[in-house]
Structure 1
Amino acid sequence: MNILYDDNMPYAKEYFRGLGQALPFTAGALDNTLLANCEALLVRSTTKVDAALLNEAPNLRYVATATAGFNHLSLTDLTARGIHWYSAGGCNARAVAEYVLACLYVLAQRDGFLLSNKTVAVVGVGNVGSTLKSLLQSVGIKVIAYDPPRATRDPAFISAEFSQVLKADIISLHTPLVKDGDFPTEHMFDASVLETLGPQQILINACRGEVLDNAALLALMRKDQSSMPKVILDCWEHEPEIDRELLPYITFASAHTAGHSLEGKARGTDMVYADLCRFLSLPLTLTLEDFLPVFSLSAEQTQKLHDVSASESTQTIVCESIKCMYDIENDDSFFRRYMAKSHSFSELRRNYHVRREWPAAKIAIQNKKAASVLGELGFKLANDSK
């Protein structure tokens, strides 16, 4: 089988070379001569698979995206041509959930509030929302779960009312982009909804940019920022051509990289590999554990956690532990500096640094309560932390 894979898929060469002739391509520079003979096309969200591309690939039988979202795939065209398609739903769920929690713990420390006293509304309780909900509840944070479409499909799931969402201390968006039907999400948070929120609230968008009306948000912020909630944006309307005038009003900003952990991206590759093997009726011979490198904190980080865990509050210890794995303030600062000089939002995403998920870390924490919280969040605890 002739396979083309995005060169930004971790371990793709190792996964796919045993399944046929596997060649890499760079998003935005897909060679039409390669497409002519391609039978399996493996992409990320930066490659749009539409009728124009399919016209260049007459032998194509299989398309997969190593991402949870699949708005970049024209399902109508794929189905019409009888091409099997697959998306790696849930591959980055933990990474996005960790991003949200990292933002909240840092913001809680910076602004002097107890996260454990807050209520979080999770809007969209699919792979990401369910993971976030589980992590929040595991450490005793109250969650309001809002997902009417899921409630219609799953009798066991009871969705909150939207009015309850708007009263929550923190609102975190994790819906797909749906433009029509009974439950559209495009501009779910438009001017009329945004105006009901207040400065004591936090609004996070880590799903699709169009779920939150960026133009309306900018207009309201310009009018009276003091009456608006704190806003954390990982996803922006019109990516990669985002409205940079929004940046000064955003509390934490990032380049649609909430899900860009090494595990999240590699898990996407692994899931595509598994589905392609099923498509070809081949046995699975590789697993994610075959590739992920061993992770360890630096000596400096280890010493810092040792020092802080003896005397600080539980929230401080948890926050500092999270920052050893991922510091949103660093991403935010870099993003602002980069976007002040460049329009290359896509390039920033492509060259994003390696970030590991919390279960990769093994840490020693003296404070038993903090160690318990970190254990619930997925950190591995060294023996001397017990």
Structure 2
Amino acid sequence: MVKICFYDTKPYDKIYFEELSKNYDFEIDYLESKLNHKTAVLSNGYDAVVAFVNDTIDSKTIDILYNNGVKMIAMRCAGYNNVDFKAAKGKIHVVRVPAYSPYAVAEHAIALLLTLNRKTHKAYIRTRDFNFSLNGLVGFDLYGKTMGVIGTGKIGKVFIDICKGFGLKVIAYDPYPDKESGIQYVDFNELCKESDIISLHCPLTKDTLHMINSKSMDKMKDGVYIINTSRGALIDTEDLLNAIKDEKIGGAALDVYEEETELFYEDMSYKIIQDDVLSRIISMPNVIVSSHQAFLTNEALHNIADTTLLNIKRFFVDNILENEVC
């Protein structure tokens, strides 16, 4: 029997993992604590740990896991920028879920855009108080506007298809363009200059870190909208805040935040938030922040659990490594 220590458990995780794990000879213990160097000691006696994108899997954490006999870190997500691969190499195998539902993330990006533009969130609050005024709720037609898409992987392509359904003109930037896709590719500077709306669908790397910053925003149209459902650190949030205050950026919809680790997925409503940048940007009337929920559909949660459990089974039972990133 393979023993698995499951970190940062949420109720929706457990539903799908409990149901699908019946097909395997696994023993899973669910912990509410995030994985970090303080909680890694709890992995003693386990064969594998299941972790998430907001866990802190640094060299200290990896050393503790390794000394405890853990052979695999199974990321139940696509992202893995929180893993110290130099520390893991030669010690622990790291696998991920490369795709769970590109539709979930792409559709959430569109939902954020529509809400930000047509201000349905504000209308909902008003009408509950029987305030039926339309003042301040003016949006714009998406039809005919230029959407700039950064990253044309599976999610980016689904997002582009949806945008075309709205009659948006789509241009895209990707350092590795799919030349057979029919997508109109431009360089990054041109995308910044020509887009009415920019949506991010790329991984976080040393090359994409803070790619949206004061310099790139200066090249953008006045009043441009920015949508981010990928990784928070693609945007320099302080620069974004300043551009919103200067009315350079017309609006922003963020499902991710670069300093989200200790905040997102938790109920912080009863605490004083010490992150002044996040507090200020949430207070802006033309900003929407959702708590990294773009993946949160029944289909995606099922696929995440299914692929994670299969990754573990293939390694421990079949001696096959699929979806390995280290």
The answer to whether the 8 Å contact 1:44/1:67 transfers is yes
Partner of 2:4: 3
Partner of 2:217: 194
Partner of 1:164: 190
SS in structure 2 of the partner of residue 202 of structure 1: strand
Change (3 A) 1:114 1:219: closer
Matched, 1:42 2:50: yes
Separation in 2 of the partners of 1:72 and 1:163? 29
In the superposition, the TM-score normalised over structure 2's length comes to 0.75
Q: Which has the higher contact order (CA 8 A, sep 6+)?
A: 2
Separation in 2 of the partners of 1:64 and 1:44? 9
Partner of 2:82: 72
The answer to whether the 8 Å contact 1:197/1:229 transfers is no
- Choose the corresponding residue for 1:136, options 163, 173, 182: 163
User: How many angstroms does 1:193 deviate by?
Assistant: 1.4
Task: Name the one with the larger helix percent.
Answer: 1
Q: Deviations over 1:2-38 (max 9, x none)?
A: 1112323242123335332221111337855541111
Matched, 1:123 2:123: no
User: How many angstroms does 1:122 deviate by?
Assistant: 0.8
Matched, 1:251 2:272: no
SS in structure 1 of the partner of residue 89 of structure 2: helix
Partner of 1:93: 102
Partner of 2:255: 234
Letter in 1 for 2:294: A
Separation in 1 of the partners of 2:150 and 2:41? 44
* RMSD (Å) for aligned C-alpha atoms: 2.5
Change (3 A) 1:116 1:199: same
Partner of 1:84: 93
The answer to whether the 8 Å contact 2:116/2:288 transfers is no
Q: Deviations over 1:251-279 (max 9, x none)?
A: 22222222233332332111112222222
Partner of 1:266: 302
Separation in 2 of the partners of 1:45 and 1:274? 19
Question: Which has the larger displacement, 246-255 or 123-132?
Answer: 246-255
Letter in 1 for 2:278: D
Paired-residue identity, %: 25
- Choose the corresponding residue for 1:203, options 204, 212, 226: 226
Change (3 A) 1:103 1:262: same
Partner of 1:13: 18
Partner of 1:215: 238
Change (3 A) 1:280 1:80: closer
Separation in 1 of the partners of 2:31 and 2:162? 37
The answer to whether the 8 Å contact 1:92/1:260 transfers is no
User: How many angstroms does 1:155 deviate by?
Assistant: 5.5
Q: Deviations over 1:174-208 (max 9, x none)?
A: 221112xxxx1111111111123334421112211
Separation in 2 of the partners of 1:25 and 1:53? 16
The answer to whether the 8 Å contact 2:142/2:166 transfers is no
Ranges in structure 1 where 5+ consecutive residues have no aligned partner? 283-386
Partner of 1:146: 173
The answer to whether the 8 Å contact 1:5/1:12 transfers is no
SS in structure 1 of the partner of residue 295 of structure 2: coil
Q: Deviations over 1:323-382 (max 9, x none)?
A: xxxxxxxxxxxxxxxxxxxxxxxxxxxxxxxxxxxxxxxxxxxxxxxxxxxxxxxxxxxx
Separation in 1 of the partners of 2:309 and 2:49? 12
User: How many angstroms does 1:107 deviate by?
Assistant: 4.0
Separation in 2 of the partners of 1:21 and 1:107? 44
Letter in 2 for 1:164: E
Change (3 A) 1:19 1:130: farther
In the superposition, the TM-score normalised over structure 1's length comes to 0.64
Letter in 2 for 1:73: V
Separation in 2 of the partners of 1:128 and 1:54? 30
User: How many angstroms does 1:137 deviate by?
Assistant: 2.8
Partner of 1:61: 71
- Choose the corresponding residue for 2:33, options 8, 22, 27: 27
User: How many angstroms does 1:80 deviate by?
Assistant: 2.5
Ranges in structure 2 where 5+ consecutive residues have no aligned partner? 120-137, 264-274, 319-326
Letter in 2 for 1:258: A
User: How many angstroms does 1:161 deviate by?
Assistant: 1.6
Separation in 2 of the partners of 1:147 and 1:76? 27
Separation in 1 of the partners of 2:240 and 2:296? 26
Change (3 A) 1:56 1:112: closer
User: How many angstroms does 1:221 deviate by?
Assistant: 3.1
Q: Deviations over 1:97-120 (max 9, x none)?
A: 111111233344443422222221
Letter in 2 for 1:42: V
- Choose the corresponding residue for 1:105, options 107, 114, 124: 114
The answer to whether the 8 Å contact 1:172/1:204 transfers is yes
